[in-house]
Structure 1
Amino acid sequence: MSDSGLDAVKLDGAGPVYDQIRRAIRDLVLNGTWTPGTSVPPEHALMERLGASRMTVHRALVQLAREGLITRRRRSGTVVASPPASHAMLDILSIPDEVRQLGQDYAFEILSRRDGKPAAEVAALFELKRSEPIVHLVTRHLSSGQPHVLEERVIHLATVPAAADEPFETMPAGDWLLQHSLWSQAEHALSAVAAGAREAELLAIGRGEPCLLVERRTWNQSAPVTAVRLLYPGGRHRFVGRFGPYGQV
C-alpha cells in the first residue's frame, strides 16, 4: 500500500486506542476507500504511524478479521476481504453466472440511468427519502439474445460513493457491487405479479402474463447499500433450493 493509504488511517480520539484503530480501518473498507484485495499496512507500519503498541495494533486487526473485513495470511500479509457472494434465503447467483450455468451466452443493456435525488415514483417504489442521493438503473439481462430478466436497482451513494463514477459498461451493477462493496444483512421477498405493458414489451411476453418478482435489499451495518427488483418471466424460470435441518445444502 502506498504512503497515502497508510496516511488514511486516522484515529478519532474516542475510546480505547485498539478500537479507534479498528474503526479507522473498518471505515476505510466500508466506504470503499480500501477495496477488496487491497493490502493492509503491516503491524509495524501501523505502530509507527499511530504511535501504538504492537499488542494494541494486533488486537485491532484480529477483531477486524473476526468481523470478516480483512483476511490475514501468514506469508502474503493482510488484505481487505472480498464480500460474501452467497445470499440469504435463496442462493441466487449473479445474473451472468445464472445465464452461463444454463449454457447460454450472457449480455446486458442499460435501458436508463439517473443519478441524484430519486423521483417521486422511485422513492415510493423503493421506500426512499426524497433527499437520499442514489444511482437509479434499469437494466435488461439477455440470455443468448433473448430477454432473461428485467432489473430495476437503486444504489445508495452515501454508502457506495464509487458507484457515481462507474459507468457499468462492462459489468452489471449487481456483480460490480459484489466486488466493490460489503454487506452485512440481506432481505429477500418473492411474489407473483402480472406483466404490465412496458414490462411485457421488454421481456417479450404477453401483457398480463405471470412473472416472478424477486426483491432484494442489502445493508452494511445499518447503512443501506442497494435495493433491486428482478422481474423474471414466470413461464421461463423456476427457482430450486435444497434444504437440510440446519439450512441450505
Structure 2
Amino acid sequence: AVPEAADVDFSDVAGGAWLMDHIPWTEASHRIGALNATAEIARVLRIAMGEAVLSVERHTWRLNEGVTQVWQYFPADLYHLSARFTPNQGPHDQQAETHQQARPTDSQGG
C-alpha cells in the first residue's frame, strides 16, 4: 500500500513518523491480548520460552486501504492495563492507560 517506503532509509527516520508525514492514516485498531512466548519471541525479549507476554496487534488504514500491520510483544510482568469509565459512557468515550514497570535486575546486573 506504500510503495514509496521502499526507497526510504529507515535508519535515519522512524517508520511511524515518516508514514504520518507522507501517508497519514485515517483509522486504526489495536487488539491487546496475552500469549505464551514462542522460541523466537523469548529470544528477542530475553525471557524463558512459554513465559507470558502482552501482545499488541495494530492495523492502520487510509480511506479503507491498509497501511500498516504491526505485532508487538512485551514481557507481561512489566505492564498492566487499566481503564476508567462511568456507566453512561459509550465505548468510544472511555479512556484506557498502559503502564510500564521497570524490570528488576538480578545480582549479576542482568
Assess same fold via TM > 0.5: yes
Q: 2:10 is matched with which residue: 168, 184, 193?
A: 168
- 1:198-237 residue CA offsets vs partner (Å, 9 max, x unmatched): 2111101111110111111111112111111111111112
How far did residue 240 of structure 1 move?
3.3
**Structure 1 position 233 matched with structure 2 position 68:** no
- 1:69-124 residue CA offsets vs partner (Å, 9 max, x unmatched): xxxxxxxxxxxxxxxxxxxxxxxxxxxxxxxxxxxxxxxxxxxxxxxxxxxxxxxx
Please list, as runs of the form range in 1=range in 2, the aligned pairs for 1:182-201 lying within 5 A after superposition. Answer: 182-201=24-43
Q: 2:21 is matched with which residue: 153, 174, 179?
A: 179
Task: Compare the two structures and name the one with the higher helix fraction.
Answer: 1
Q: Distance in 2 between matches of 1:204 and 1:224?
A: 32
Q: 2:63 is matched with which residue: 205, 216, 221?
A: 221
Q: Distance in 2 between matches of 1:208 and 1:190?
A: 18
Q: What amino acid maps onto 1:219 in structure 2? A: W
Task: Compare the two structures and name the one with the higher strand fraction.
Answer: 2
Q: What are the ranges of 5 or more consecutive residues in structure 2 without an aligned counterpart?
A: 96-110
How far did residue 166 of structure 1 move?
1.1
Q: Distance in 2 between matches of 1:220 and 1:176?
A: 15
RMSD after superposition: 1.9
Distance change (3 Å), C-alpha of 1:201 and 1:176? same
Q: 1:248 is matched with which residue: 89, 94, 100?
A: 94
Distance change (3 Å), C-alpha of 1:242 and 1:196? same
- 1:159-209 residue CA offsets vs partner (Å, 9 max, x unmatched): x23211112103332333233222222222112111111211110111111
Q: Distance in 2 between matches of 1:214 and 1:194?
A: 13
Tell me the percent identity.
37
Q: Distance in 2 between matches of 1:197 and 1:226?
A: 25
- 1:13-37 residue CA offsets vs partner (Å, 9 max, x unmatched): xxxxxxxxxxxxxxxxxxxxxxxxx
What SS does structure 1 have at the residue aligned with 2:9? coil
**Counterpart position of 2:107:** none
